[in-house]
Amino acid sequence: MTVPAPGRAVLSNRLIASTIAVLLLLPLLPVVLAAFSRSYVFPQVIPAEWSLRAWRIVLGGGTGPALWWSIAVAGAVAAIALVVAVPAGRALGMHSFPGKGAVELMVLAPLLVPVVAVAVGLDITFLKLGLSGTFAGVVLVHLIPAAPYAVLVMAGVFANYNASFEDQARALGAGRWSVLRLVTLPAVRPGLIVAGFFAFIVSWSQYVLTLQIGGGKVVTLPVLLLATASGGDAAVTGALTIVYALPVLSLFAAASGHLLRAGFRGGAM
């Protein structure tokens, strides 16, 4: 018995798929080449000389603190976004109630409004409240664009959620917290992962909000990266770009099973 050769349709599909993958990955290649080069000038396609110089600078400098700021801020944003998105998603996904339209508008509006408008509109308020230049202030302001994504994902999850298991658990004597902990949260766990991931990467990507509200004290990776990029050392900028991209790529790889199933219903970021 012979294995049937792949048909022409399958081959052309693979060709299309590989073309798309190349188009997506090729733009990242020069950044990686630059990061490992000693000098990488026109017209070299491949660097003439390789070097880890940029990595010694990047791993020795302010990268560590910036990495921790980014992780702490994005982690806190994701955690708070989940805490508020689970009940809100449940209400919007499962119930209709008076004023629902207004709530949806309130939750979705921050997705359309440019973050720079939020940044300039809030900076004096934050200064007066003593939140400028603080961890709490940056987390709060990141929640404005991040929480709506988490709510959107959870609303989609709860729209397909079957609450009758909760009734059964209650009939068997489970209290409110046991129902939440043992029935509801395990049932929506894939949604929680996707929603948390979205909130994390929205926060991870914020530049101008952090710059304006962080006031030079909360220096996350994007703030450090743009300052480095204006310094003009392509190798160092490239290395720091990789440091900035790797954590979200790893998270994506870890969560990709859930994300692919969820079909990335959330948004464009």
Partner 1 sequence: MRAPRPWLLVLPVLVVVGPLFLAAVVFAVLQSFTYFPLIGLDTISAEAYRSLFTDTEFWRGLLLSLWIGGAAAGLSVAVGVCAALALRGAWGGSRVVAFLSQINLPLPHLVGALAMIHLLSQSGFLARLSHAANLIDSSAGFPALVNDPWALGIIAEFVWKDAPFIMVIALGVLGSVGRDYEAVAGSLGASRGQQLRHVTIPLLVPAVAPAAVIVFAFAFGSFEVPLLLGQSFPHALPLLAFRLHTNVDLAARPEGMAVAVVMTLLVIGLAALYLSLVRRHLRREAR
Query: Per CB under 8 A, which region of 13-21, 49-57, 58-66, 186-194 contacts partner 1?
Result: 13-21
User: What type of residue is 113?
Assistant: V
Given the complex with partner 1, which of 84 and 182 has the nearer CB atom? Answer: 84
Q: With binding defined as CB under 8 A, does residue 136 bind partner 1?
A: no
Tell which one of 76, 78, 92, 183 touches partner 1 (CB under 8 A).
92
Q: Which x/- pattern, by CB under 8 A, does the window 27-46 give for partner 1?
A: xxxxx--x------xxxxx-
Q: With binding defined as CB under 8 A, does residue 99 bind partner 1?
A: yes
| Residues whose CB is less than 8 angstroms from the CB of residue 39 and which lie 6 or more positions away in sequence, other chains included | 47, 48, 49
Q: With binding defined as CB under 8 A, does residue 172 bind partner 1?
A: no
Q: Which x/- pattern, by CB under 8 A, does the window 61-90 give for partner 1?
A: -------------------x--xxx-xx-x
Query: Per CB under 8 A, which region of 48-56, 59-67, 182-190, 232-240 contacts partner 1?
Result: 232-240
* Closest of 108, 153, 159, 151 to residue 264, by C-alpha: 153
The residue with tokens 């990955």 is: 25
User: What type of residue is 34?
Assistant: A
Q: With binding defined as CB under 8 A, does residue 151 bind partner 1?
A: yes
| Residue 81 Cα distances to 92, 95, 134, 146, angstroms | 15, 20, 19, 7
CA distance 82 to 85: 5
CA distance 203 to 65: 17
Count of residues that interact with partner 1, criterion CB under 8 A: 95
Given the complex with partner 1, which of 44 and 168 has the nearer CB atom? Answer: 44
CA distance 198 to 264: 9
- Interface of this chain with partner 1, residues 178 to 217, rule: CB under 8 A: 197, 201, 204-205, 207-208, 212
Distance from first CA to last CA of the chain, Å, rounded?
Answer: 50
Q: Which x/- pattern, by CB under 8 A, does the window 112-131 give for partner 1?
A: xxxxxxxxxxx-xx------
Residue 105: CA atoms inside 13 Å, Cβ hemisphere, count? Answer: 4
